[in-house]
Amino acid sequence: MKFYLTDMGLVNGLGEGKAGVSKALFAGARAFQPCDWVADKPTYVSAVTASLPELPSELAEFNSRNARLAYSAISQLQNTLAQVRARYAPSRIAVVAGTSTSGIAEGEAAVAAHTKGEPIPADYHYHAQEIGNLGPLVAQLCGAEGPAYTLSTACSSSAHALASARRLLAANMADAVIAGGSDSLCRLTVNGFAALDSVSSGVCSPFSEGRDGINIGEAAAFFLVTREPILHRVELLGVGASSDAYHISAPDPQGKGAEAAIRMALQQANLEPCAVDYVNLHGTGTPLNDAMEAGIIDRLFPHRPWCSSSKGQLGHTLGAAGATEAALIWLALTNGDGKLPPHCFDGHYDPSLPSLNLVPTGGKAEPGAQVCLSNSFAFGGNNAAVILHAGH
């Protein structure tokens, strides 16, 4: 049985929609702005600057920036969604969405007003910040009446949503699944990572000798996953998952759980490691994560596939990162010119790490990548690995 990512919509700091994001992505643009949310510590974030659509009035109680990011991404799918709805009954269209922030930014504003003795914003509703609201909301926006739920496994949330979509289709519980994720910027997240000494004081520089942490970004990306290639033939070959629970925030230095997820994805795809042409690295820019991941790539892929971390361009988009980075691979597999997402950093690779074959800005694989891996490693050892194929 084959599973196709037949269409995709996305929005992030690089832009909105396939054309806009592609142009900035392959040009090596870096979408960061200074942020003063952390007391006594400068940092940067990657914010979406595109205008976001308002939710329909009947869904106003769910209104949040996170929901509007998701709405922006799924609105780009409307033409393909119309074809899906013409083929399948609404009860056969499912939704799986990943998030970690939900509408907490709106909750922050409400709490801030309350503590000052001011009225809570009139448009605030607690439903907007409930962690499980995104999947059912997307279902209402898309007219999907099949299973609809939300996953929250921190930074691997939307990668796991793709795994769930594959399982729903394999079990014949749906004929089409809208799968992806959305996460928006908020003070709670930025300050939380700062409290863990994980936030960079400058623009993040994955795998650099001088790397000192992450930059938080916001994004949404959603796919239409089907068993037939309605529009595009990008295949979801395999998704691996593991939970090593080594530490609540630090990765296992040996990366055993992360490697297990990659091996599971390869097994599901019926591939040997040497078949992988490109790896979109988790690559957060933190000392421990990058060291762990470089070790995995070195021992598991001795043929040295192309590699890059997209967090050097659009930051760490948290629960949206898995789907967002899979979406960047999708763009590479469908653009037809062999270009891959470049690795953007300060140019000073850490010599203490195993050497990786990093994609330069404007670089391309020869004769072009066909099999691509995307890694997502989250707090608590919630690991996910996604393998995509160009299809034929």
Q: What kind and span of H or E run contains 34?
A: strand 33-35
Question: SS3 for 121?
Answer: coil
CA distance 67 to 115: 25
Ramachandran bin of 285, using left for φ above 0, alpha for ψ from -120 to 50, beta for the remaining angles: left
The tokens for 249 are: 């925030």
Q: Which CA distances in Å does 117 have to 90, 113, 114, 155?
A: 46, 6, 5, 35
Task: Using CB atoms within 10 Å of the CB of residue 283, give its burial: 0 to 12 exposed, 13 to 18 middle, 19+ buried.
Answer: buried
Question: Taking a C-beta distance cutoff of 8 angstroms, is the pair 307, 206 a contact?
Answer: no
**Which is catalytic among the residues 282, 343, 372, 389?**
282
**Which is catalytic among the residues 35, 142, 155, 186?**
155
Q: How many CB atoms lie within 10 A of CB 249?
A: 14
- Is 316 labeled as catalytic in the residue annotation? yes
Task: Using CB atoms within 10 Å of the CB of residue 230, give its burial: 0 to 12 exposed, 13 to 18 middle, 19+ buried.
Answer: middle
**Which is catalytic among the residues 160, 316, 343, 389?**
316
Question: Taking a C-beta distance cutoff of 8 angstroms, is the pair 227, 314 a contact?
Answer: no
- Is 155 labeled as catalytic in the residue annotation? yes
Q: What kind and span of H or E run contains 388?
A: strand 382-389
Question: Taking a C-beta distance cutoff of 8 angstroms, is the pair 153, 378 a contact?
Answer: yes
Question: Taking a C-beta distance cutoff of 8 angstroms, is the pair 222, 178 a contact?
Answer: yes
Detail the DSSP E strand segments found in 275-325: 278-280, 306-308
CA distance 181 to 28: 24
- Is 232 labeled as catalytic in the residue annotation? no
Question: Taking a C-beta distance cutoff of 8 angstroms, is the pair 227, 1 a contact?
Answer: yes
CA distance 53 to 131: 21
Task: Find out whether the peptide bond into 229 is cis, omega within 30 degrees of 0.
Answer: no
Chain mean position to CA 17: 15
Looking at the annotation, which residues are catalytic? 155, 282, 316
